[in-house]
Amino acid sequence: MEWRERIGLEHPVVQAGMAAAAGPALAGAVSAAGGLGTVGIMAPPAFAASLRKARRLAPGRPVAGNLIVPFTRRAHVDACVSEGASLVVLHGGFAPRWVRRLRDGGVPVFQTVGTAGEARRALSEGATGLVVQGLEAGGHLVASAPLGHVLPQVLEAAGGAPVLAAGGVADAADVRRLIDAGADAAVSGTRFLLTGESGAHPAYRRRLLEADCTLVTELFGLGWPLRHRVVPNAATTRWCAGASDLGPEWVRRAAVITGPVGRVAPLGALGAVARLQRPGLPLFSPALPLQGMPEAAVDRTGLYAGETVGRLDDVVSAAEAVRRLAP
């Protein structure tokens, strides 16, 4: 039986986990429309409640959870088990103990990888499937090569384990191309950010619609030193216009130094930190601009988006986004 049939997925379309921008309204609507909705990581109580609500909004449909490894706590893992997540995607690191705990609780675990070597490691540590990320993807990158280059290598390393492909997915033709190349489903993030159900700030969505380029930087790495693809804003214009889009070297060193702090700081503190950020002071956390934040947040937080942003020109419902992506 194919993976999609086992999980009960109508369309080979997966909505990426995008922290609090991927709340229950978005995940539930995507799953109800026949895709795989994903609840993004947030503070453990809110994460558990969001999984529960998303499943209520999509009865009988699969709903996934996304766990960013440096910020994952035992309570996140327990919530995935107790709230009946259909699968969990681990991103931004390897965590064999969480894999074991989830699988012992009956939850399949997919690991985000950027190379064949990482794919083999993930499977050897117990992952049941893989999300292979290409360099075109938005948000935080484990990728180092375009998806077309790395997908065949990861498929070979997977040895028949299910593989989801992420990066550069804007429409049904993209999904069909990846399915024809051997992927079990395609993962899209930016298309789902541009929906009415996403938790992204309206000004964030407007910036994405107006954007014609992205850049890969490390500017928004305080507490989480991982490269990320964003749309330019006042912060990147001020600090990434020099020799490197990655940002000043001392800022990148600060991100590495503060990495251990990010692993112990509560996720709920990100919003408070974001309110203190200013474009003129390059100490930026990984926070993204969410509904309820001041509009000025779009110039002092990361506007995460993939290279597909230049091909997307409207905000639609989550159900319509699934329809446009379904081959």
Residues 49 and 193 reside in one and the same domain: yes
Taking the C-alpha atoms of residue 299 and residue 242, their distance in angstroms, rounded to an integer, is 18
Per the domain annotation, does 124 fall within a domain? Answer: yes
Is the pTM above the cut of 0.75? yes
Is 159 a domain residue? yes
Band the pLDDT of 19: cuts 50, 70, 90.
very high
Instruction: Classify residue 181 by its DSSP letter.
Output: T
* Same-domain pairing of 192 and 230: no
For 207-236, the pLDDT digits (tens) are 999 999 999 999 999 889 999 999 999 999
**pLDDT at site 254:** 86
If asked whether residues 156 and 57 sit together in one domain, one would say: yes
Domain co-membership, 118 together with 226 = no
| Residues 106 and 225 reside in one and the same domain | no
Based on the fold, state whether residues 120 and 145 are members of the same structural domain: yes
Check residue 228 and give its pLDDT: 97
In a domain, 59, yes or no: yes
263 and 128, same structural domain? no
The number of folded domains in the chain is 2
Q: Are 105 and 13 in a shared domain?
A: yes
Share of the chain above pLDDT 70, in %: 97
For the ranges 201-210, 237-246, 272-281, 284-293, the lowest mean pLDDT is seen at: 272-281
The mean per-residue pLDDT over the stretch 144-165 comes to 97
179 domain-assigned: yes
Span 57-89, pLDDT tens digits: 999 999 999 999 999 999 999 999 999 999 999
- For residue 111, being part of any structural domain is answered with yes
Same domain, 35 and 64: yes
Question: Is 181 domain-assigned?
Answer: yes
Taking alpha carbons only, the member of 55, 49, 57, 59 closest to residue 20 is 49
Distance in angstroms (rounded) separating the CA atoms of residues 151 and 220: 28
For residue 207, is it within any domain?
A: no
CATH code of the domain in which 13 resides = 3.20.20.70
Lowest-confidence region among 53-57, 130-134, 248-252: 248-252
Yes or no: say if 305 and 288 are a contact pair by the CB < 8 Å rule: no
Q: Could you tell me if 27 and 80 lie in one domain?
A: yes
CA distance 99 to 111: 9
Same domain, 107 and 151: yes
Asked, for residue 208, whether it belongs to a domain, the answer is: no
- Assigned token pair, 245: 């889009």
Tens-digit pLDDT profile for residues 265-277: 767 766 666 777 7
User: Which residues form the domain of 241?
Assistant: 215-304
Same domain, 184 and 84: yes
